[in-house]
Every structure is written in C-alpha cells, then in structure tokens.
Amino acid sequence: MSSLQDRVVLITGGTSGIGQACTELFARSGAKVVTMSIQEAEGKAIQEQLTGEGHQCVFHQGDVSQEGDVKAAVDLAVEKFGRLDAVHANAGVLRNQKITEFTLDDFHTVLNVNLLGVALVCKHAIPVMEQQGKGCICITTSVAADIGFPGHAIYCASKAALVALMRSMTTDHSPNGVRFVGVSPGTIDTPMLAASCEGWDKPKEELYADVAKKIPVQRMGESVDVAQAVAFLLSDDAGFINGSVVHLEGGTLALPPW
C-alpha cells in the first residue's frame, strides 16, 4: 500500500472540520503539510501541536477568494518543501436561504469561497504539478450537488459547479500528469453543520439524532471519515481514479423518495 509519506500537500480550509481532520491525519501519516485558512489562532495552534509531535506542518493565513493569498500558499509549499504533490481544495462556506431570499452579499460570499477559491488554487497549483509531471487535486463538493436541499439554493449550485469544473480540468490537464478527484460528503458532524442548526425549535443533539436515524448506516459522518478517503484518493493507490467523485454519505443517495 502506498501512502502520503513525504508527499507535499496543500489543504485549504484546513483548520476546522474536514480540513482540520485532513491536516492532522496527513501530517501524522508522514506528509509535509501546508494548511491554509482565515483562522489565524486555530491555524497556529494546529501547527504548534503537530510540529510538537515531530510532524511537518506549516500554517498559512489566507483567504481562498483572494488570488494573492492562494498564490502565496502554493509558493510557500514549493519554497519550503521543493514541490507540490497534492492539493485538497476544501475551503467552503454555507448560507441557508431560498432563492427568493438571498442577498447579493451572500451570493458573492458563497460563490467566491466555494467556486472561485477552488478555481484559484487550481490555477496556481496545476502549472507546478505539470512541470513536475505528476500531481493530484481533490475537491470537496457535497451531496448538495445531487440533492435539492430546501433553503440551500446558492450553496447547492456552488457545489454542483465544482463537479463540472473538475471534469473539465481532467480533460485539459490529466494528459500532463495531473489527476482530479472529488469527495462528496453527506451529513458530517462539523462546526459548519452545527452552525446551521441555529434557529431550529430543537437542540442540536436532537436534530442530529433525528438525522442519524434516516441515514442507512444509522449514524452521521465524522470528519475523519472524509479525511481517510481523501488520503487514499491523493495516494498512488488511487492512480486510475480520475475525473470522478466519491460519495461519503452513509447511503443517503440510495434512499427512495417516499
């Protein structure tokens, strides 16, 4: 079995939820990790924790919707570690609203982080990987790309756009050695999900229990479930997986519509 040992990996949105789980798992698996987010305190704490354990992790504070910040993160990986083997384009935000309720500020925030942020990291990472002759970019999409979640119109659209982006990049850049894969999480216990529970008439714990009963595996996902899948997809063991999305939703998509 191959692994992420000595692989240089850039993770966006790497200090919370799925991104934090990936930062920690990858570094502890021997990867050289550059983890990027806007959360300075959390990022510095994760870097200190992992380096204190003897692993290689560098935090880069930046906003994925700002091209200069993204380019600086890619440059940091190459300057510090000499190459860039893999990217997990994971940063994302959520807004709950129907299409009749959204504001332009919310629209631009969701699209700028969820879609533009991925496009920017790919823009700057792909040339590095093509020059090396090898690389892999994994994009976090969502089952929201496949299911019409009530009150999530713009979010769903942003995640569906990522699937089309991934497939187009596959045709353009895989002949030059770069693989593109997606992970599509279902209901994962993350701070983003917890925040979406605000305003309901039930406490979060009851909401989570209700959701878990509806998922065929009878539990919600954990961030580490996604991190383990991403680690595999970025490894050489997944070398023939390209232009595809792996769903991690406990069987939610198999449910009948009644």
Active site residues: 155
For helices 153-173 and 117-132, angle between their N-to-C axes, nearest 10 degrees: 20
| 89 neighbors 114 (Cβ within 8 angstroms) | no
